[in-house]
Amino acid sequence: MKKLLTFAALGVALATAGCSKTENAGGTVKREAGNWKTDVKLVKFDVPGMPPEMKDGMAKMMEGASGMDQCFTQEQVDKEDIAAELAKGPGNGGECKWSKKDVSGGKIDVAGTCTANGQTVDMAMAGTMEAKKTDVTITTKGKMPTGQGEMEMVLQMTSTHTGPCKDGAAATKS
């Protein structure tokens, strides 16, 4: 389960990276500075042999990630670089090799293979990025670490600009 969460976290982190004003007509859209609320929905979670209560637990964990508020300063959004974030891959020494990396004109369409904690999965992200909203579907597919078939997880992540940062809110490092 920990390995599955690594890839769920990776997808969410990559999807939130690099989303304020358009640099040019076909350029990368950057998010607006301020407070952002992120909602995460587990759309599909298919893991062969996993007991229903564990699947329910995973769904509840994803719901727990919903409603997260983050404050981004103008300096942080100016420095955002989704291409650099994609190149980093997952933490703990993991990496991603992207076969498709189209992040321009308000669209995100990325696919490749990521490895972390000894597990390799196919990952795809598709959606839209606007100055005040991102909406991305993240799909991960891969062999189960136990060898019991293939797992698939689909997350829907929506981040919305909710206004200026709240007083006393610490800025989130992006």
Mean pLDDT, the chain, integer:
75
pLDDT digits (tens, 9 = 90+) for 78-108: 887 766 666 555 555 567 888 988 888 888 8
Rounded Cα distance, 44 and 139, in Å: 9
pTM, entire model: 0.75
Instruction: Using DSSP, state whether 48 is helix, strand or coil.
Output: coil
**DSSP SS3 for 9:** helix
User: Do 113 and 119 form a contact (C-beta atoms < 8 A)?
Assistant: no
| pLDDT tens column, 100-128 | 888 888 888 889 998 877 778 898 999 99
The token pair that represents 132 in the structure block:
């005040």
